[in-house]
Amino acid sequence: MRIAILGATGQIGRGLSRAYHDRARLTLFARRPDRAASLAEADGIKAEALPFDRLADGEFDLIINAVGDGVPGRIRAAGADILDVTAHFDAFCLSYLERHPTCGYVFLSTGAIYGPDYAGALRPEQAPQASLAPDNFYARAKLEAEDRHRRLSRHSIADVRLFGYVSPEIDLGSDFLVAQMLDALVERAVFVTQPADIVRDYVGLRDLVGLIDAWIGAGRRNGGYDLLSAAPTSKMRILDALKREFGLAWETEEPAEAIELAALPPRLSLDRSAEALGFRPQSTSLDNVLSLAHGLMRARERQTAGAWA
pLDDT at residue 75, as a whole number: 65
pLDDT at residue 121, as a whole number: 43
CA 178 to chain centroid, in Å, comes to 13
DSSP-based three-state secondary structure for 128: coil
Give, in order, the Cα–Cα distances in Å from 38 to each of 4, 42, 145, 173: 17, 6, 31, 22
pLDDT tens, N- to C-terminus, the chain (309 residues): 999 999 999 999 999 999 999 999 999 999 999 999 999 999 999 999 999 999 999 999 999 999 987 666 666 676 788 889 999 999 999 999 999 999 999 999 998 888 765 554 445 555 545 456 667 788 889 999 999 999 999 999 999 999 899 999 999 998 889 999 999 999 999 999 999 888 889 999 999 999 999 999 999 999 999 999 999 999 999 999 999 999 999 999 987 665 555 555 555 677 788 999 999 999 999 999 999 999 999 988 887 766 554
Backbone angles phi, psi at 103, to 5 degrees: -80, 140
Q: Which domains does the chain have, with CATH numbers?
A: 68-304 (3.40.50.720)
- Could you tell me the pTM of the whole model? 0.90
pLDDT at residue 28, as a whole number: 97
Its sign, for the CA torsion 83, 174, 128, 285, is: positive
The two counts, helices (H) then strands (E), for the chain are 10, 11
Residue spans of alpha helices (H) in the chain: 11-20, 33-42, 72-78, 81-99, 137-150, 177-187, 205-217, 235-246, 273-276, 285-308
DSSP-based three-state secondary structure for 298: helix
pLDDT at residue 303, as a whole number: 77
Give the whole-angstrom CA distance, residue 21 versus residue 75.
29
